Amino acid sequence: MSNDEEVSKHYSHGSLLEAIQEAITRLGKTIDSVTIEDLSPVDEFHIGGRFATEHFLDQLNFSRQGHLLDVGCGLGGAARFVANRYNYQVTGIDLTQEYIDTGNVLCAWVKLDKHITLQQGSALSMSFPDESFDGGYMMHVGMNIDDKAQLFNEIYRVLRPGALFGVYDVMRDKDGELTYPVPWATDNSTSNLSSPERYTQALCDAGFEVSAENNRRDFALDFFKQLRAKTEASGGPPALGLHTLMRESTADKIKNMIENISESYIAPVEVIARKI
C-alpha cells in the first residue's frame, strides 16, 4: 500500500455523511436549516477549530474577490468559512475521497456549492494550470507529507505572482518520542513532522518570502483545557464534533496530542508567505 493510500485509509470513516446527518438531527436541525456554524465542530479538523481558522486566515488579508486554493481541504470547513466571509471562490484538494464526497454535500446544504469546488487528489501533483490561484492556505496537512520541497514547489507553481499563502500545521518543537495514536496518524509510519525551520527553508527554496511565524502552543493548551471543561459541564461531548470523525479513538488521540504538546515535542505553528 502506498503512503497516499495509507493516509487516506487513516482518515476514512465509512459512513461519515450518515453520521453527520444523524448528529444534526440530534441538534434539532435539518439539511435545510443547518449552518456553517453548526457544522464547524466537525468540519474544521485542526487544533482550535473556528477560533484558529479566524486567527490564521485574517492574517492573509483576503479582502477582494478572487480564487483561493485550500490544500488538504478535508470536509471543506475552512473553504466554506472563506467563501462565506470573504466572497471568494475556493477550490479544495484532498487525498480522502470520502471527505471530498461528504464535503461537497455539506457545501450544497449551506448553499455554497456554487462558490466551492472540492476534488480528490495529491497536493504533490495537482492538475491545476500554472498561476491559477490568487492565494491559498493549508491547515494541518504537512504532518502526512514527507516531501515538503515538492509540496511547496507545486503550490508555488499554481499561485499567481504576489499571492499570499498560509500554513497552519502541527510541527516539531524539539526531539523526543511521540505518543501515538494522534489525530493525523496511528503510528509514525504516516507521521512526517518537520520543524518550523524546515518549513521556512522549503518555502524559501520554492521561491516564497516568509513574513511571519507564530508558535501557537499556549493557545492550543488553553483551547483543550476549555474544551474539556465544556465537555465535563455538559456531561459529555456535543452531538457533532471531532468524535464524529475519529469515533472510538477520539479520547486517546486527543489525550496523546495534548501530552505531546505539553512536553513541547510538537506545537501548532502558523507561517505566512508570499510568492515573489
The tens digit of pLDDT for each residue in 26-35 reads 999 999 999 9
Q: What is the reported pLDDT for 256?
A: 97
Q: What is the reported pLDDT for 1?
A: 59
Per the CB < 8 A criterion, the answer to whether 68 and 91 are in contact is yes
Q: What is the reported pLDDT for 214?
A: 98
Over 90: is that where the pLDDT of 208 sits?
yes
Q: What is the reported pLDDT for 65?
A: 77
φ, ψ of residue 168 to 5 degrees: the values are -130, 95
Q: Identity (one letter) of the amino acid at 214?
A: N
In angstroms, the CA 146 to CA 262 distance is 24
Which tens digits make up the pLDDT trace of 146-165? 999 999 999 999 999 999 99
Over 80: is that where the pLDDT of 63 sits?
no
What is the value of pTM for the model shown? Answer: 0.95
Looking at per-residue pLDDT, the higher value among 227 and 269 belongs to: 269
Q: Could you tell me the three cell numbers for 274?
A: 508570499
Mean pLDDT of the region 90-117: 97
Q: What is the reported pLDDT for 236?
A: 87
User: In angstroms, what is the C-alpha Rg of the chain?
Assistant: 18
In angstroms, the CA 8 to CA 70 distance is 17
Q: Which domains does the chain have, with CATH numbers?
A: 3-275 (3.40.50.150)
In angstroms, the CA 44 to CA 78 distance is 6
Mean pLDDT of the region 81-104: 96
DSSP string across 146-212: S-HHHHHHHHHHHEEEEEEEEEEEEEE-S--PPPS-BTTBSSTTS-----HHHHHHHHHHHTEEEEE
